[in-house]
Amino acid sequence: MNAIISASELAGELAGPRPPVLLDVRWQLSLAKAAGEPPFDGRAEYTAGHLPGAVYVDLDAELASAPGERGRHPLPDLGEFGAAMRRAGVSAGRPVVVYDGGQGWAAARAWWLLRWTGHPDVRVLDGGLPSWQGDLETAVPAPDEGDFEPKPGEGLLDADGAAALARSGVLFDARAGERYRGDVEPIDRVGGHIPGAVSAPTTENVGPDGRFLPAGELAERFASLGASDGREVGVYCGSGVSGAHEVLALAVAGIPAALYVGSWSEWSADPSRPVAVGPDPQ
């Protein structure tokens, strides 16, 4: 099953006999609050216009629990997550397509959570809302209650597991290179990376239009960074959002990967954990 879907393919499925559930997960990492500016409002963006039939999902409230020792976007309470998905009309027997404003990170977080908790058919709209050529609507739908019950599976790393994987397999750091090196750190306690992790910015997995590079190009990129010969692969980022986007890119390339959800926001908050700086993984 493909992990992504094009806008034209989605339009065809929406007009067909078994249309997917649509989830709008518009969100963006914003430092506006620290600067005294209003933060990004995904719900307001949704209200102004969304794909026909799409239901808004709040990343901070429904795809994560409150920030704390486990990071800025820890795993949500699974009971609350399941209830939110059922309210949105998600059922185990119906496909789901997730989209955001184009960056892809938030949609990938929803994709990863649904896949990790057992949904068999979830895809991300490649290129997000900007790729959609059809009409938008402002009416808020009232979908029938879904039946999805989340059941966690494999593909989740904790801090110790991430540290071990950096030695035994390959652990990708999906953040920008300057944050990996520790040149700058605008959010967390300290800059740098998990010792042994390899810098692999997720922004380099997409083209200028925000759509993923072809699967073959992605496979070549990840192989050049160490994801070859069946090595186990894991990903982390700042708080488990852009890292999910890298896991999605790896899935497009045909490479299974686990996600360290706590990511650097959890790792760096613990002074006892080692920190590497500079371009060298170690």
Report the catalytic residues: 237
Which residue, among 168, 140, 180, 195, has the nearest Cα to 279 in the 3D structure? 180
Phi, psi (degrees; rounded to nearest 5) at 27 = -165, 155
Tokens of 14: 């929406």
Strand 198-199 and strand 122-125: the pairing is: unpaired
From residue 132, how far is each of 58, 128, 257 by CA, in Å?
21, 7, 29
Exposed / middle / buried, residue 244 (Cβ in 10 Å: 0-12, 13-18, 19+): buried
Q: How far apart are CA 251 and CA 183, in angstroms?
A: 30
Which residue, among 161, 111, 119, has the nearest Cα to 262 in the 3D structure? 161
Q: How far apart are CA 193 and CA 214, in angstroms?
A: 28
Q: How far apart are CA 200 and CA 2, in angstroms?
A: 22
Give kind and range of the element (H or E) at residue 125.
strand 122-125
Residues 6 or more apart whose CB falls under 8 angstroms from that of 37 comprise none
Q: How far apart are CA 133 and CA 26, in angstroms?
A: 18
